[in-house]
Amino acid sequence: MRSLEARGVSVARGGRVILKRVSMEIRRSQVCVIAGPNGGGKSTLLRALCGIWPVTEGEVLLDGRRLTALPRKEIARRIGHVPQDSRLDFPFTVREVVASGRYPHRGRFAWESQADRRAIHEAMDICDLSHLADRLVNTLSGGERQRVSIARSLAVDPEFLLLDEPTASLDLEHSISVYGLCRKLAAAGRGVVLSTHDLNAALRFSDRAALICQGELVGQGPPTEVLTSSAIRSVFRVEAEPVDAGSGIRCLVFHSQEGI
């Protein structure tokens, strides 16, 4: 089965070790959530998985081949990455920004092919942006810009999509839409990885969960086995009370350790 894998990966930046010997496998047709407190290493792990940041120990493998042995253009075609802080402050239209996601397939100055146009249209449609196609991105809200960033990455048609807190600036409707999109992409055969603080969404929408704290992987596996009350207490320093929300959906209600 095709997979994206970290084997004993450590990352050091500025003389500080941020990620410590992390091993995990992301398979196609699955949604994997990476959860953990701020500064725990989630963003660093995503950057290492797509080759943006080099690893100082271990290796990242794409279908069993070292990422460092693959051409950068091949990596860009096969692994999409949407960072938290996508800068979209320039006066390009939404369609132009989404279309830039096709560069790994056709080059910056080549004419758009029919396949390019289809991928651009589908990406905007999936992200509910078709009605904004001619708007300048620097006139959009933060949430709308985030959806443009996701659509640009989807236009690449990657095998694996890495999303760093993709719902952080979205309202409830579009947050649920993004999680639903992740499930749809997995059902179509892609591997989807997203970091999030929304543990209830992790329980509801993911196939696997990884819990990371202070740069170390402290648990991974089925979400209900990883995001337990004891693990959440240890990592987040809050109490998590499981409740049945109906329709077979399990939710967590959080309390401070002081009982507030």
In a domain, 222, yes or no: yes
What is the average pLDDT across 139-166? 90
16, 102, 139, 224, 250 from 201: Cα distances, Å: 32, 30, 30, 12, 10
Number of domains in the chain: 1
Neighbours of 31 (CB within 10 A): 24
Neighbours of 48 (CB within 10 A): 25
Residue 260 has pLDDT above 70, yes or no: no
In a domain, 237, yes or no: no
In a domain, 103, yes or no: yes
HSE of 196, CA atoms in CB hemisphere, 13 A:
28
In a domain, 145, yes or no: yes
pLDDT, one tens digit per residue, over 31-86 is 999 999 999 999 999 999 999 999 999 999 999 999 999 999 899 999 999 988 77
In a domain, 128, yes or no: yes
Which structural domain range is residue 115 located in?
3-227
In a domain, 256, yes or no: no
pTM for the whole structure: 0.88
In a domain, 259, yes or no: no
In a domain, 233, yes or no: no
User: CATH number, domain at 95?
Assistant: 3.40.50.300
pLDDT, one tens digit per residue, over 164-205 is 999 887 888 888 888 988 998 899 899 999 999 999 999 999
Task: Give the ranges where 85-160 is alpha helix by DSSP (H).
Answer: 94-99, 103-106, 114-126, 142-155
Question: In sequence order, what DSSP letters do the residues of 41-92 get, joined into one string?
Answer: SHHHHHHHHTTSS--SEEEEEETTEEGGGS-HHHHHHHEEEE-TT----SS-
